[in-house]
Every structure is written in structure tokens, then in C-alpha cells.
């Protein structure tokens, strides 16, 4: 799913050129549009009947043009709607399809800027842009609290004899990457390094309700 159908199709073509043989369906999805979210859920339900993994990779940084209160409120609310609220809404919408999978997983792409401990420790350089940072703090809260809510649901279902469908929620901090999102920042890492953490979470058996990064060739749990 992509906010731009053209961008999604270009990415699918690039993957095919790199040798990916799997079928790739491209759906346009504005995560702030509930009608489009419902259409995406319907498409997956009709064509696949379940969802194994949901990766929430939506996110924006919006520069505040001036700090008048109306402008400040409007800009922050817009950023939170995309970076935080829409992730919770999309995830909730797909939850029933996820529960039909054997080992479903939700992976939220966050940022190291969202770690409260690392921010207060001041042990590493962190971009000084509070609105984006606290949107990622909130996203990490979505990961943690949805896991607790899901665990409660699962304990009830397990008591009724269910043996599959327990969703595991993760946050991934990919770090600064050379992508369009960062204007291909020269200091950024190869995007493949950021994706490696996602791949390992999909393939591995990591405890849910946790945050991870891939550094120096291995997985490292990131403190909240």
C-alpha cells in the first residue's frame, strides 16, 4: 500500500527488477481517509482472507511556518494524525484479519527520537524538533498498549481453545537512512540496514511489546 499509486507501482517494478518473484498488489491508501482504509481491508479480506504481517511505515515531518498558536495547533495536529492516530486506526481496522493468521505481527516504523530514555540520557545526538519526536513517543505507546490489549484478548481466546492468532506488536527504529524521506542525507545508512530489523522480526520469535534496531550486524532492543 502506498500513498501514491505511481510511487507504489515504481517500487513494485524496482523489486521485480531485483529478482523478487512474489506477486505484489499495489493499493493506494491515504491513511487519514477512513473510506480508503475500509476499501483496503475489504481488498485483503476478499483476495487473501487473512493478514500475516502489517507494517506501518507512514510518517511525515511538517515544518511549522510560524509559531502563532493557530498555526502551531494545526501543524501539530496534522502531523499527529498521520504519524500516530492513523497508525492506531489502520491497525485496529486490520486486527480481525491479523487474528486469522497463525503468527500475526504488527511492525510500527518509529524513530530513535521516540525513546524517552535515550532523549533524557542525552547520550547520542538527536535532532531538535519536538513535534516529530513526541509523535514517535506516542507511536511507541501505541505499540506497547496495543500489545497489552491484545494479550488480554488472547488470554480469553486461549481459554476458549484457540491456538493461533496472537498478534505481536513491535516498534522498529531504523535510524537515519539515505531515503527520499531524509532527502538522501549523506550521513544516512543504507536503507537495507534499516529494513534488516523488520525482516528479522518477521522471521524471528521476538517478544511482543518491544522496540528494536539493527546495528553493527545484530539486533538490539531499544529502551522506551
71-116 pLDDT, tens digit each: 999 999 999 999 999 999 999 999 999 999 999 999 999 988 888 8
Helix H or strand E segment including 200: helix 191-203
For 221, which DSSP code?
A: E
C-alpha cell at 187: 550521513
- 172 pLDDT above the threshold of 80: yes
With respect to residue 155, please indicate whether it lies within any of the assigned structural domains: yes
Which are the catalytic amino acids?
Answer: 132, 136
Rounded to two decimals, the pTM is 0.89
The CATH number linked to 136 is 3.40.50.720
Of 36, 28, 30, the C-alpha closest to 1 is 28
Q: Are 211 and 170 in contact (CB under 8 A)?
A: yes
With respect to residue 132, please indicate whether it lies within any of the assigned structural domains: yes
With respect to residue 50, please indicate whether it lies within any of the assigned structural domains: no
Domain that holds residue 86: 58-221
Q: What is the mean pLDDT of residues 149-162?
A: 93
Q: How many domains does the chain have?
A: 1
Amino acid at each position: 500500500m502506498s500513498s501514491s499509486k505511481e510511487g507504489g507501482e515504481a517500487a513494485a517494478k524496482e523489486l521485480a527488477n531485483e529478482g523478487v518473484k512474489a506477486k505484489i498488489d499495489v493499493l493506494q491508501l491515504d491513511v487519514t481517509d477512513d473510506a480508503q482504509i475500509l476499501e483496503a481491508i475489504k481488498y485483503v479480506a476478499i483476495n487473501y482472507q487473512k493478514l500475516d504481517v502489517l507494517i506501518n511505515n507512514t510518517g511525515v515531518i511538517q515544518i511549522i511556518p510560524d509559531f502563532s498558536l493557530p498555526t502551531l495547533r494545526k501543524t501539530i495536529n496534522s502531523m499527529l494524525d498521520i504519524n500516530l492516530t492513523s497508525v492506531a486506526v489502520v491497525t485496529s481496522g486490520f486486527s480481525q484479519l491479523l487474528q486469522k493468521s497463525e503468527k500475526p505481527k504488527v511492525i510500527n516504523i518509529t524513530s530513535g527520537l521516540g525513546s524517552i530514555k535515550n532523549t533524557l540520557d542525552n547520550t547520542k545526538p538527536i535532532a531538535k524538533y519536538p513535534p516529530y519526536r513526541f509523535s514517535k513517543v506516542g507511536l511507541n505507546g501505541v505499540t506497547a498498549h496495543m500489545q497489552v490489549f491484545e494479550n488480554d484478548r488472547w488470554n480469553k481466546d486461549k481459554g476458549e481453545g484457540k491456538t493461533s492468532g496472537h498478534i505481536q506488536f513491535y516498534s522498529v527504529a531504523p535510524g537515519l537512512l539515505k531515503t527520499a524521506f531524509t532527502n538522501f542525507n549523506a550521513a544516512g545508512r543504507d536503507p537495507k540496514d534499516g529494513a534488516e530489523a523488520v525482516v528479522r522480526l518477521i522471521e524471528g520469535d521476538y517478544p511482543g511489546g518491544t522496540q528494536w534496531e539493527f546495528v553493527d550486524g545484530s539486533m538490539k532492543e531499544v529502551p522506551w
